[in-house]
Structure 1
Amino acid sequence: MANLESTFRKFATYGDTAASGNDMTSKNFAKMMKECGVMDGKTVTSTDVDILFSKVKAKNARNITYPEFMEALKELSGKRFKGKSPEEALQSIHKLIEGKEPANVGTTKAVAAGGVDRLTDTSKYTGSHKERFDESGKGKGIAGRADLAQNTGYVGNYKGSGTYDKTH
């Protein structure tokens, strides 16, 4: 039973660093049932798990506690292991859950594939885009993105800027 409670606490704190591990959300409950093999898609579906979660939790609560979790397992065991006695079914469901941990399967990781390398290589940039980076490939910031005004009093393409005082 201690093994079962430690599994409950691991799944209860999954994805929430502030969680105490004393109660579990609906999302983590469904994740636990799926990863431990209780939810098989035929006899026990995600809908069954969601309905059961709502049934065993306290009236105005959002999470279930460990005793409510144990009650949910009793109800699920009869549905998951039909034909076995209630005690055998409960033992079978405990064996499925004990000692498991939440997995990070399916999480997205950054991939530096050929396309990404090609698009992030600043030496291949042309036109106005190459002005945004220095020789080492480091971005210049706002200086590389905007034409900054010089406030000299002359129009940008005027060739004789700074010559007025010399002629007059």
Structure 2
Amino acid sequence: MSDSVENGSPAAATPPSEGLSALKIDAGAEGTGSSGPASPASPAGAGSFTASFKAFSKFGDPKSDGKQITLSQSDKWMKQAKVIDGKKITTTDTGIYFKKHKSVKLGLEQYKAYLDDLAKNKKVDVEELKNKMANCGAPGVSSHAAGKAASTVDRLTDVSKYTGSHKQRFDESGKGKGIAGRKDLPDQSGYVTGYQNKDTYKAH
């Protein structure tokens, strides 16, 4: 009898205790989430900044692991977040303070130190700066600015509107002719200039 109790009790006792501890952990996790609504809010802001950092550090670099960001990626991020406005903060400023770290790429903590330095010297609130950067969306282009920029780019790159020497650099389809469009290359085919029946002669 005692054997059966002894044999049965450890087996029976362990699963409930494990179950209870698991329930306590779950309850604790729920408790922390529900008890303090203010506490998850701040990590969420930090999380979105970190997520944006990761996204922009991979922008234009498929081999990047998202842990380090370059100056050009950072500038792209700041322009999209309207931190670089060309007045208060310019790309010259970002270049100066980025290069102080003597590294081509900065990790997240280094990057935060860089932002602190930049904000302090440009007399800008670093938290406001980070908030803008956290909420600027995924790498790409903002809709309103994109519409204007796209139409401007389309207009400036429409080769059918080119005149003068620029017109000579593209064929009818808009493809660049390369060196032939920039230099007068001598025709070495053996035909005189303007000959209409070029390449029609068949050798017998």
Instruction: Report if aligned partners of 1:43, 1:80 keep a CA contact under 8 Å in 2.
Output: yes
Mapping of residues 144-155 of structure 1, within 5 Å: 147=199, 150-152=202-204
Percent of pairs with identical residues: 21
For the Cα contact (< 8 Å) 2:81–2:135, is it kept in 1?
Answer: no
Structure 2 unaligned blocks of 5 or more = 1-45, 162-171, 174-197
When residues 21 and 110 of structure 1 are mapped into structure 2, their CA distance, relative to the original with a 3 A threshold, is farther
Report the AA paired with residue 103 of structure 1. Answer: G
Specify the SS of the correspondent of 1:16.
Answer: coil
Deviation at 1:4, TM superposition (A): 0.4
Distance change in 2, residues 1:148/1:69 (3 Å): farther
Contact persistence 2:59–2:139 (CA under 8 A) = yes
TM-score by length of 1: 0.56
| Equivalent in the alignment of 1:97 | 133
Secondary structure of the residue aligned to 2:100 is helix
Q: Distance in 2 between matches of 1:102 and 1:109?
A: 21
Question: How many residue pairs were aligned?
Answer: 115
Structure 1 position 16 matched with structure 2 position 45: no
Q: Counterparts in 2 of 1:1-168, with a 5 A limit?
A: 1-56=46-101, 59=102, 61-82=103-124, 89-100=125-136, 101-104=138-141, 105=146, 106=149, 115=160, 119=172, 147=199, 150-152=202-204
Give, in whole Å, the separation in 1 of the partners of 2:83 and 2:123.
Answer: 10
Q: Deviations over 1:33-52 (max 9, x none)?
A: 22212223223222110011
| One-letter amino acid of the counterpart of residue 102, structure 1 | P
For structure 1, the 5+ residue unaligned runs are 83-88, 121-145, 153-168
CA distance 1:42–1:109, shift in 2 (3 Å): closer
- Whether contact under 8 Å (2:68, 2:108) holds in the other structure is yes
Distance verdict in 2 for CA 1:9–1:110, change over 3 Å = farther
Q: Structure 1 or 2: larger helix share? A: 2
TM-score by length of 2: 0.47
Q: Take 1:19 and 1:79, find their aligned partners in 2: how far apart are those partners?
A: 30
Deviations along 1:125-144, whole A, 9 cap, x unmatched? xxxxxxxxxxxxxxxxxxxx
Higher relative contact order (CA 8 A, sep 6+): 1
Q: Is the 8 A contact 1:43 1:79 kept in 2?
A: no
